[in-house]
Structure 1
Amino acid sequence: MRGAEPDEVEPRGARFRRVARVVLLDPDDRILLLHGYEPEDPARTWWFTPGGGLEGAETREEAALRELVEETGITDIDLGPVLWTRYCSFPFDGRRWDQDEWYYLARTRRTEPTPRPRALTDLENRSLAGLRWWTSAELSAARETVYPTRLAELLRTLLDEGPPSAPVVLAPEIV
């Protein structure tokens, strides 16, 4: 996650943060996930896709690419279509985060371990434990918390059927 950007107000009056996330797959169809934790409670952990909030006037595509480089150091990717969108709301680092997230498909030829992240924010430095590649089977068998919560099922469908013809709207997740 990036530092807090100015909130925007959508028509219903709810405050939200526009976010671009990346479903990054390697040549073996493994997905790259970040391992995060609550800064004040490091025992509370979860896995999630790279990505974060838009900065200034950047597009979601630009934010997806920037965030991927900042959080993983990976630059050799092919950014594909938006797979899924969702609204989520969760407490983190002493505040509530309300986000409108778009998940982009991306491919990389890189299979070796990911280099150290390049440009983490202070909050990311205080809340990221690492990252790893997951197979679909590993993700399906995981007993750890993963966001979005249906990621294993969504990834299996993506690998079996390919990208959807239009972005799939996921059910809101409010924690």
Structure 2
Amino acid sequence: MPPPRDAAPLRRVARVVLLDPDDRILLIHGHEPGDVADAWWFTPGGGLEGAETREQAARRELREETGITDVALGPLLWKRTCSFPFAGRRWDQDEWYYLARTAQTATAAEGLTDLERSSVDDARWWTCAELEASSETVYPTRLAALLRRLLREGPPSVPEILATEIA
């Protein structure tokens, strides 16, 4: 649903569902700046800059947030709209999730912004079973089930539209 005419346009975001050779997914651990107890895990990615395509933004964000550059960027898997408070403001986003594969599993977050440096503290490879068993907050909220279906059935023939998430 488009934003009302007087609302700011949705921030365009590219995210990466990055899988290693063992089908583990890379997630980043973040928290509200100044409150490490308000924390969650999420896929690498972020907003488009300038005239970037979503694919270009996905690769750039992956490099900045993880140091991983050796990736095979695959198809668009999912799209979702979300809205959440973070760092003293509301973020309204149109997120596209791309499948990617890599053999490069060492991470080094060397291209973070000041805001990211104050709110990102870890990156970890997760198995689907670990995600399903976890009680930690993960976005999108149905990521474990989405990953299980992706691993079982492969990428969808057309991108799936995920339910809007508003926090």
TM-score for both structures, normalised by structure 2: 0.95
The partner residue of 2:22 within 28, 45, 58 is 28
Aligned length: 164
Question: Which secondary structure state, in structure 1, belongs to the residue aligned with residue 58 of structure 2?
Answer: helix
Q: Who is 2:155 aligned against? A: 163
> How do 1:51-130 residues align onto structure 2 when only pairs under 5 Å count?
51-111=45-105, 114-130=106-122
In structure 1, runs of 5+ residues without a counterpart are 1-9
Give the whole-Å Cα distance in 2 for the aligned partners of 1:23 and 1:49: 6
Over the aligned positions, Cα root-mean-square deviation in angstroms equals 1.0
Give the whole-Å Cα distance in 2 for the aligned partners of 1:118 and 1:72: 7
Q: Who is 1:42 aligned against? A: 36
Check conservation: 2:107, 2:123, Cα contact below 8 A: no
- Using the TM superposition, give the Cα deviation of residue 40 of structure 1 relative to its aligned residue in structure 2, in angstroms: 2.8
TM-score for both structures, normalised by structure 1: 0.91
Give the whole-Å Cα distance in 2 for the aligned partners of 1:118 and 1:61: 20
The partner residue of 2:131 within 129, 134, 139 is 139
Identity %: 72
CA 11–89 in structure 1, closer or farther in 2 if over 3 Å, else same: closer
Moved over 3 A (4+): none
